Structure 1
Amino acid sequence: MIIDLDDLSTSETYFAMTQAIIPRPIAWVLSENGAGDYNLAPFSYFNAVCSDPPLIMISLGKKPDGTPKDTRVNIEARGSFVVHIAGVEQIQPLNASSATLPAGESEITHLGLELAEFPGSRLPRLAECRLAMACELYEVMELGPVPQALVFGRLTHLYIEDGVAEQDSKGRLKIHADRLNPLGRLGAREYFAGGEIITLPRPA
């Protein structure tokens, strides 16, 4: 089967890409609403893009009514946000947090999630997540006719639950993926969990 993307509509292209580019990590993003509470939303167009400075990128579309998503509005207005890597056990609240709520209404409150202090971050983190990244807005770029917003965030602090990470024999940070048990995104309504970990030596 050969698919020419020029023959597809924008929605058909999205549907094809999200099934072909798998599995994808999910950024579960906490940002601050103007009302003084917090917005929470998952995004799977997300990855690391640079180590110096330490940057991640999240790609955000728009709401069904064409207005910018609350996450973008909050980040551009206040600069700080926290990206969580959800474990498999958080699949239900993560999926539920993708629903469109009225602007300013908090998914944290709506879903009954707990927050915890995040030293080094102006914002809290989700208490149940084993890994969180404190970020500051670095740059926003727009691509395409819609347009799609690329939000680049500079990582400032990591929270890693005790027991999930340790130092390896070279003194470097080693995060145990099996203990983190991260949730991944596939296409349509599908998620990815519990994949086999294969360890190979790096070629000389």
Structure 2
Amino acid sequence: MLFSSDRMSPAEIYHTLTQVIIPRPIAWVLSPNDADFSSLNLAPFSFFNAVCNDPPILMLSMGQKSDGTLKDSCRNLLERKRCVIHVGAEDQAQAVSDTARELPFGESELALAGYELVDFADTGMKRIQGVPIAMACRLYQHMEVGNKPQNLLLVEVEQVWVDDRACYTDAKGRVRVDAELVRPLARLGGSEYASFGEVFRIERR
């Protein structure tokens, strides 16, 4: 089957892209609603990936709310410049999905997720307890792309926290993260998610 984007509506293109660009990692983004970080927003985004290692830059792409205003995560990043991006595990899929709901600004999704927060050492931020990976980030660059437009946010990673149970030291003395122990959740199309499957290695020839 052939899909031609010039003959498709934006909704049809979105529907197609999210079904063929699979699986996608999910950024579970915790961001401050206010200056003293007393109120926090939590939301998942699967238009997300790493784009640079020097400096370490991640990409988040966000649309608007149904009323055309900025999503709370975008608004918070533009105003407060900080966020913590979590990589959730497959057994946290329901909580990740629940926090995708569109709530009034200032109403926290943390209650929906049912998770507690703990201090993120040396960052002045909080992270979600029980989530295997968390990255403290600072806004690096913001740009608008597309016709709506879409908000493209580049954030610089300042600290990475990984659950000790998912880390090991290899034969060369390097710290490695065991993906099978992280069991990362992945996004597919529609309401579909993917759990972690078999890990296999391909040797270089």
TM-score range, shorter-chain basis?
Answer: over 0.9
1:184 paired residue among 157, 164, 186: 186
Distance 1:171 1:57 in 2: 30
Look up the match of 1:68.
70
Aligned ranges 1:2-17 → 2 under 5 Å: 2-17=2-17
Q: Normalising by the residue count of structure 2, what TM-score does the alignment of the two structures yield?
A: 0.96
* Higher mean displacement: 32-41 or 14-23: 32-41
Q: Which residue of 1 aligns with 2:103?
A: 101
**1:73-97 Cα distance to aligned partner (Å, 9 max, x none):** 1011111100000001111110000
Whole-angstrom distance in 2 between the partners of 1:110 and 1:197: 32
Distance 1:55 1:202 in 2: 28
Once the two structures are overlaid, the 10-residue window that deviates more, 181-190 or 111-120, is: 111-120
Deviation at 1:9, TM superposition (A): 0.2
Provide the residue aligned with 1:53 in structure 2: 55
Give RMSD over aligned pairs.
Answer: 1.1
Question: After the TM superposition, which of the residue ranges 8-17 and 101-110 deviates more from structure 2?
Answer: 101-110
- The structure 2 residue matched to 1:164, chosen from 159, 166, 175, is 166
Taking the aligned partners of 2:112 and 2:183, their CA distance within structure 1 comes to: 25
Matches within 5 A, 1:13-24: 13-24=13-24
Q: Distance in 2 between matches of 1:163 and 1:67?
A: 41
Q: Secondary structure at the match of 1:57?
A: strand
Structure 2 Cα separation of the partners of residues 10 and 38 of structure 1: 31
Tell me the alpha carbon deviations over residues 93-115 of structure 1, each in whole angstroms, 9 at most, x when there is no partner: 10000000001111113433200
Instruction: Specify the alignment match of 1:87 in structure 2.
Output: 89
Rounded Cα–Cα distance in structure 1 between residues aligned with 2:86 and 2:204: 29
- Asked if structure 2 preserves the Cα contact closer than 8 Å seen for 1:80 and 1:122, the reply is no
Query: Are 2:158 and 1:121 equivalent residues in the alignment?
Result: no
The runs of 4+ residues in structure 1 deviating greater than 4 Å are: none
Query: Could you tell me which of 36, 39, 42 is aligned with 1:37?
Result: 39
Give 1:199 shift.
1.0
Deviation at 1:166, TM superposition (A): 1.9
Q: Distance in 1 between matches of 2:137 and 2:27?
A: 12
Question: What is the count of residue pairs matched by the alignment?
Answer: 203
Aligned to 1:28: 28
Structure 1 stretch displaced more, 130-139 or 114-123: 114-123
Structure 2 residues not aligned, in runs of 5+: none
TM-score by length of 1: 0.96
Which SS does the other structure have where 2:43 is aligned? strand
Structure 1 vs Structure 2: percent identity of aligned residues?
43
- Deviation by residue 1:19-66 (Cα, 9 ceiling, x = unmatched): 000000000000001272110000000000000000000000000000
